[in-house]
Structure 1
Amino acid sequence: MPRISVIIPAYNEEKSITHVISDIPAELVQEVIVVNNNSSDSTSEVARAAGATVLHEPRPGYGNACLTGIAYTANKPTQEQPDIIVFLDGDYSDYPGELPQVIQPILDGKADLVIGSRVLGQREAGALMPQQIFGNWLATTLLRWLYGVRYTDLGPFRAIRFSTLQQLGMRDRNYGWTVEMQARAAKQKVRYAEVPVNYRKRIGVSKVSGTVKGSVLAGYKIILTIFKLL
């Protein structure tokens, strides 16, 4: 069985992080890494009590948290590094128990990057805001036109071979992280797949889609990233 690590960026998720960690299939995962992204609540303490490795990234930004988790993993001795990295959100909108389905195309040797598609799965009413649905459609349409790849979603629940992730050279520090990974993978001809995943309303209020400013900034950065990486 390959070694699998899960990286969870978390900003003020004390009410949800235990649910996320406890639902991850422990028999499959070597390490759960929660990156506390400058939280002002007890996210770190709650995550550590739930059994996670907790890292601290004081610079705000989803990408910053992901990069910190990757750097921590890359600094491990080679024999302790994972074969597969899974990314999950810390707000309990994803279903961590679906991790086996998300990694299966990699285990089958059919893909090196797998996106959990909320569009192909079942969504709780109101789980995806209208601006998220439109943004996903626009971004995936641009990826198809400009990069020749067919995605339906920029979903946060995703799995990637660690060796592939290192080759991508990820840099984005905030909203462009997910689309950057898919665009860079397209440019490098990485084998990819999508699997349906279910999605529910998050615990708490979204820091991005929950505000007009966050939605606009995220949309702008996603579109900018797509064109910048061409």
Structure 2
Amino acid sequence: MPRIAVIIPAYNEASSIGPVLRDIPGGLVSEIIVVDNNSSDDTAKVAKENGATVLFQPERGYGNACLEGLAYLRTKPAEEKPNIVIFLDGDYSDYPEKMPELLYPILNNDADLVIGSRTLGEAEKGSMTIPQVFGNWLATRLLKRFYKVKFTDLGPFRAIRYDSLEKLNMQDKTYGWTVEMQLKAAKHKLRCTEVAVPYRRRIGRSKISGTIKGAVLAGYKILYTLFRYR
């Protein structure tokens, strides 16, 4: 049985992190890691009450939280390190119960990285803003043009072999994390695929797409990352 770790970056998700953790299929994963990204609410408390390992990353940024989770995994002895790492958001917009579908291509030895594509799946009305839809469209086309890899989405819900993830030497500390992983996977010639996943309106307001500033900064960072690694 493979060891599977889940990393969930979370910033002020006290109202949603409980449902996220409760919907992860029982017995499927070895450890669930919630990285509290300096929340001002009870995110950490609720996560602990629902059985998660809680880490604290005071430096804000999606990538910073993910990197903190990876740093924790590196401290484990070899026999306790995961074989696969799953990433998903803590806002309950993803469907944790779909994890087996993301894992299947890896467990079947058909892929190293699996992206849960909201574009291929059914997205609830209002779950993705116009800037998000356009940003995904543009970024995936630039990925195809610059890195010769076909994706339809930069979705946060994804699974990757741990040894493959370590080869990527992830660096981005903020909004460029997802696209960095995908373009580096292409450069390292990892086997990449997508599976359709549903997507719903998040609980609470998005810290990125919910504000003009957040959307602009995210868009800029994604484009910067795409050109940086050419």
**Identity among equivalent pairs (%):** 62
Q: Secondary structure at the match of 1:227?
A: helix
RMSD: 0.4
1:45-66 deviation digits (Å, cap 9, x = unpaired): 0000000000000000000000
Q: TM-score, normalised by structure 2?
A: 0.99
CA distance in 1, matches of 2:14, 2:133: 27
1:14 corresponds in structure 2 to 14
1:150 corresponds in structure 2 to 150
- Taking the TM superposition and a 5 Å limit, the aligned residue runs for 1:82-161 are 82-161=82-161
CA distance in 1, matches of 2:151, 2:181: 12
1:223 corresponds in structure 2 to 223
2:210 corresponds in structure 1 to 210
Gaps of 5+ in 2: none
Q: TM-score, normalised by structure 1?
A: 0.99
Shift of 1:194: 0.2
Q: Secondary structure at the match of 1:7?
A: strand
CA distance in 2, matches of 1:73, 1:104: 22
CA distance in 1, matches of 2:16, 2:90: 7
Shift of 1:92: 0.1
Q: Secondary structure at the match of 1:13?
A: coil
Matched to 1:176, the amino acid is G
1:32 corresponds in structure 2 to 32
Matched to 1:222, the amino acid is I
CA distance in 1, matches of 2:73, 2:210: 31
1:104-161 deviation digits (Å, cap 9, x = unpaired): 1000100000000000001100001010000000000000001000000000000000
2:185 corresponds in structure 1 to 185
- Taking the TM superposition and a 5 Å limit, the aligned residue runs for 1:186-201 are 186-201=186-201
Shift of 1:213: 0.4
CA distance in 2, matches of 1:147, 1:164: 18
CA distance in 2, matches of 1:127, 1:75: 37
1:61-111 deviation digits (Å, cap 9, x = unpaired): 000000000010111000001100000100000000000001110001000
CA distance in 1, matches of 2:19, 2:102: 19
Matched to 1:102, the amino acid is L
Shift of 1:26: 2.0
